[in-house]
Amino acid sequence: MKRQKRDSSHRAFIKGYQAGYHGRNKTLCPHAEETTLAQDWCNGWREGREDNWSGYKEQAVQQKVSNL
Q: What is the pLDDT of residue 7?
A: 84
DSSP states of 3-23 as a string? PPPPPHHHHHHHHHHHHHHTT
Q: What is the pLDDT of residue 68?
A: 74
Q: What is the pLDDT of residue 5?
A: 66
Q: What is the pLDDT of residue 6?
A: 67
pLDDT in tens, the chain (68 residues): 556 666 888 899 999 999 999 999 999 999 998 899 999 999 999 999 998 998 888 888 887 887 77
Q: What is the pLDDT of residue 23?
A: 92
Q: Residue 27 burial by CB count (10 A; 0-12/13-18/19+): exposed, middle or buried?
A: exposed
Distance separating alpha carbons of residues 26 and 23, to the nearest angstrom: 9
